[in-house]
Structure 1
Amino acid sequence: MSRYLLNKFLFMVDRDPELVERYRNEPRELVTWWEAECANTVLNCHTGEASTWLRFDDVEREALATHDHVKLFELGAHPFLTLTLFIAVFERDNTEPLEYQKSYGARLAHFPMPYPDIAT
C-alpha cells in the first residue's frame, strides 16, 4: 500500500479538468491508464525522470475505481485531496448547497478521533 501514490493520483487528477471528467465517466479505465502512464513519473518534474516500482494494490485500485472515499480514507488518503476531487466529480449532481460535502462527512462520521494517520 502506498499513501503517497493514492494522494498523488488524487492530486494530479483533481488538477486536470479532462482527467476529472474521465474519472467521473470511466473511473476504472482512468485508474488503469493513470497507473500505467503517470504513477511512476516524478511529480512536478518535466525532465523525463521516472521510477519503475510504484503500483496500486488491488484494494487501492478498487477503491479508486469505485469512487469509495470511505475506503480511501481508511487506507490513509488525505481527506482534503479526496474531498476536492470528489466535489469536482459529484457536486454537479446535487441540488442543495453543500449537499455533497455534507454527504461526504456523514459517510465518514463513524470514524473515531483521532483519525487514521494521513502522513505520507
Structure 2
Amino acid sequence: MSKYLLNKFLFTVDRDPELVERYREEPRATVEMWEADYANRILGCHEGESSTWLRFDDVEREALAAHDYPRLFELGAHPFLTLTLFIAMFERDHEPLGFQTEYARRLSHLSLPYPDIAT
C-alpha cells in the first residue's frame, strides 16, 4: 500500500479538469490509464524522468475505481484531497453543500484517532 501514490492520484487528477471528468465517467479506465501513464512520473521533474516501481495494490485500485472515498480515507488518503476531488466530481449532483453533507455522513462511522495520513 502506498499512501503517497493514493494522494498523488487525488492531487494530480483534481488539478486537471479533463481528468476529473474522465474519472467521473470512467473511473476504472481512468485509474488504469493514470497508473500506467502518471504513477511513476516524478512530481516537479521533467516529463522524461520517472521511477518504475509505484503501483496500486488491488484494494487501492478497487477503492479508486469505485469512488469509495470512505475506504480511501481508511487507507490513509488525505481527507482534504479526497474532499476537493469528489466535490469537483459530484457537487453538481446535489443541492448546495449537499455533497459535503453526504461526505460527512459517509465518514461519520470513523472516530478519533483517525487513520494516519502521513506519507
The answer, yes or no, to whether TM exceeds 0.5 is yes
In 2, the alpha carbon distance for the partners of 1:47 and 1:109 equals 40
Structure 2 residue aligned with 1:9: 9
| 1:23-59 CA-partner distances (Å, limit 9, x unpaired) | 0000000000000000000012125210000000000
In 2, the alpha carbon distance for the partners of 1:68 and 1:74 equals 10
Equivalent residues in 2 for 1:1-120, closer than 5 Å:
1-94=1-94, 96-120=95-119
- The Cα of 1:73 is off from its aligned counterpart by 0.5
| 1:46-83 CA-partner distances (Å, limit 9, x unpaired) | 25210000000000000000100010001000000000
Q: Number of residue pairs matched? A: 119
- Aligned amino acid, residue 10 of structure 2: L
Gap runs ≥5 in structure 1: none
In 2, the alpha carbon distance for the partners of 1:37 and 1:59 equals 20
Task: Compute the TM-score of the two structures, normalised by the length of structure 2.
Answer: 0.98
RMSD after superposition: 0.7
Counting aligned pairs with the same residue, the percent is: 75
Q: Is the Cα–Cα contact under 8 Å of residues 87 and 100 in structure 2 kept in the other structure?
A: yes
In 1, the alpha carbon distance for the partners of 2:84 and 2:20 equals 11
Q: Is the Cα–Cα contact under 8 Å of residues 70 and 107 in structure 2 kept in the other structure?
A: yes
Q: Detail structure 1 runs of 4+ shifted over 2 Å in the superposition.
A: none
- Aligned amino acid, residue 99 of structure 1: G
Gap runs ≥5 in structure 2: none
